[in-house]
Structure 1
Amino acid sequence: MTANAQPHITDQSQKSSPWVHICQVDDLVPDSGVAALVLGQQIALFFLSETQQVYAIANQDPASGASVMARGILGDLNGETVVAAPLYKHHFSLKTGRCLENEDWQVRVWPARIVDGQVEIEWV
């Protein structure tokens, strides 16, 4: 999968586990975001190469309504790992989804993990 390709998961009905396989970790761009369509929801996946951690948040920016969060810039503000939304540069925590500049805004987050080189999110 290239940086422009998007994983596409459509059916969770056959699974007994809440964890949904999204892609291989090698499909992700280190220290950047990739968009995926998972069960009808646009997800932004971020892979931090230094910690080997993956994060999953909603791809829609609450400020603009555009599905662009995967194109945001990763950073750290006061010890919190964040993504700066590309249009208005609001910072969202990758752990909680809260906006650091506007307490009324939040993006959904999903627990994410890497198992045997596979990226999974917990779909609950």
Structure 2
Amino acid sequence: MTVSEENRCSSMRRYQYVWSTVCAVDSLIPGRGAAVLLADDVQAALFLMPSGELYAVGNIDPFGQAAVMSRGLTGDRGGEPTVASPLLKQVFSLIDGRCLDDASRRLPVFEVRVINGNVEIGMLRSRHRNTVAA
């Protein structure tokens, strides 16, 4: 383990995931988004891709500051799953949230899992404070 890996692991131990059950996986439509509300009133956009993969990113468009990302157009760029903002059409990676059209902007990305047919979205929360890290 390198020093940077050790520091990262040490840093991650200070956080724990807070999971929110948001919907049944059967209620999602492939290729379409759903707006969901997480802990601490954080808004997320949840996407079920035609491949069956689930992704969750912040629902607030970082350019227009509107809660619209769940209404964005899904697709891919070079095999990377993406969502385009319905406002000004900037394209964001669903993997890491970066804007593929403007490197200065990004969406927060959340962990997603399915438990007993229900979709859960996880946010990192500090073990020492009640703050959430997206």
Same fold (TM over 0.5): yes
**Which has the larger helix fraction?**
2
User: 1:54, 1:77 → 2: CA distance?
Assistant: 17
After superposition, residues 31-42 of structure 1 pair within 5 angstroms as: 31-39=31-39, 40-42=41-43
Identity %: 42
Q: Please tell me whether the aligned partners of residues 53 and 113 of structure 1 are also in contact (alpha carbons under 8 angstroms).
A: no
Aligned Cα root-mean-square deviation (Å): 1.5
SS in 2 for 1:123: strand
C-alpha deviation, 1:17, in angstroms: 6.4
Q: Please tell me whether the aligned partners of residues 74 and 81 of structure 1 are also in contact (alpha carbons under 8 angstroms).
A: yes
Look up the match of 1:3. none
Q: TM-score, normalised by structure 2?
A: 0.75
Q: Please tell me whether the aligned partners of residues 20 and 120 of structure 1 are also in contact (alpha carbons under 8 angstroms).
A: yes
Q: Please tell me whether the aligned partners of residues 60 and 66 of structure 1 are also in contact (alpha carbons under 8 angstroms).
A: yes
Structure 1: segments with no counterpart, 5+ residues: 1-15
User: 1:76, 1:123 → 2: CA distance?
Assistant: 25
User: 1:38, 1:22 → 2: CA distance?
Assistant: 8
2:58 paired with 1:75: no
After superposition, residues 6-45 of structure 1 pair within 5 angstroms as: 18-39=18-39, 40-45=41-46
2:26 paired with 1:47: no
Question: For residues 83 and 17 of structure 1, do their structure 2 counterparts lie closer, same or farther at Cα, with a shift above 3 Å needed?
Answer: closer
* Number of residue pairs the alignment of both structures matches: 108
Counterpart residue identity of residue 59, structure 2: N
Structure 2: segments with no counterpart, 5+ residues: 1-15, 125-134
Which is greater in Rg? 2
